């Protein structure tokens, strides 16, 4: 049984947005031939990076995608998970907003898997920690926490 920890990235929309965003760089006569591949690579890194986490059978599998390229997936047997750590990272303050001109806020909304405030970590019997989910929104957080606790039966530690 496959139970995703969501929300999952919508790859179709990401590919469409990527195509729209690279179009000006490709047809621009102002950019040099060296700048065009750099612009395409930057858009691929921004739009095509995401984390996909899911409970698959007896495993928890997380896989990071960087610029649409999948990295090696991390796996953890559910029966070895002894604890789930629910963390709330520090939110952005007024000084961060002024200093970074709201960049952190944009990152939280567009790329929650990278900059989200809420995290779910799993801890195995051998004290191995693995990031299971990162994002925003209490509804997604509660649903993913319920999925992990029902799949593992592990105790939850809130930090």
Q: What is the block-wise mean pLDDT of the chain (159 residues), using blocks of 10 residues?
A: 83 91 89 89 88 91 92 93 86 56 60 73 91 85 91 87
Q: For residues 16 and 74, what is the distance between their CA atoms, to the nearest angstrom?
A: 28
Buried b (16+ CB within 10 A) or exposed e, 31-67: eeeeeeeebbeebbeebbbbbbbbbeeeebbbebbee
β 59-66/69-70 pair status? antiparallel
DSSP H or E run through 143: helix 138-152
Specify the pLDDT at position 2.
84
Q: Which residues contact 107 (CB under 8 A, 6 or more apart)?
A: 114, 115
Strand partners, 66: 69
CA pseudo-torsion sign 33, 39, 42, 46: negative
Specify the pLDDT at position 51.
87
Specify the pLDDT at position 7.
83
Specify the pLDDT at position 72.
95
Specify the pLDDT at position 107.
63
The reply to whether the predicted model has a pTM over 0.85 is no
């Amino acid at each position: 049984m496959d139970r995703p920890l969501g929300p999952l990235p919508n790859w179709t929309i990401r590919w469409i947005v990527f195509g729209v965003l690279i179009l000006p760089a490709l047809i621009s006569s102002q950019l040099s031939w060296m700048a065009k591949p750099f612009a395409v690579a930057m858009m691929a890194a921004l739009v095509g990076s995401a984390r996909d986490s899911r409970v698959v059978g007896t495993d928890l599998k997380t896989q990071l995608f960087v610029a649409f390229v999948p990295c090696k997936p991390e796996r953890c047997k559910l029966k070895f998970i002894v604890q789930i750590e629910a963390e709330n990272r520090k939110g952005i303050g007024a000084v961060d907003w002024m200093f970074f001109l709201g960049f952190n806020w944009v990152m939280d909304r567009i790329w929650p898997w990278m900059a989200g405030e809420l995290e779910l970590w799993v801890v195995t019997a051998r004290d191995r920690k693995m990031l299971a989910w990162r994002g925003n929104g209490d509804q997604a957080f509660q649903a993913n926490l319920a999925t992990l606790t029902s799949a593992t039966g592990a105790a939850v530690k809130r930090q």
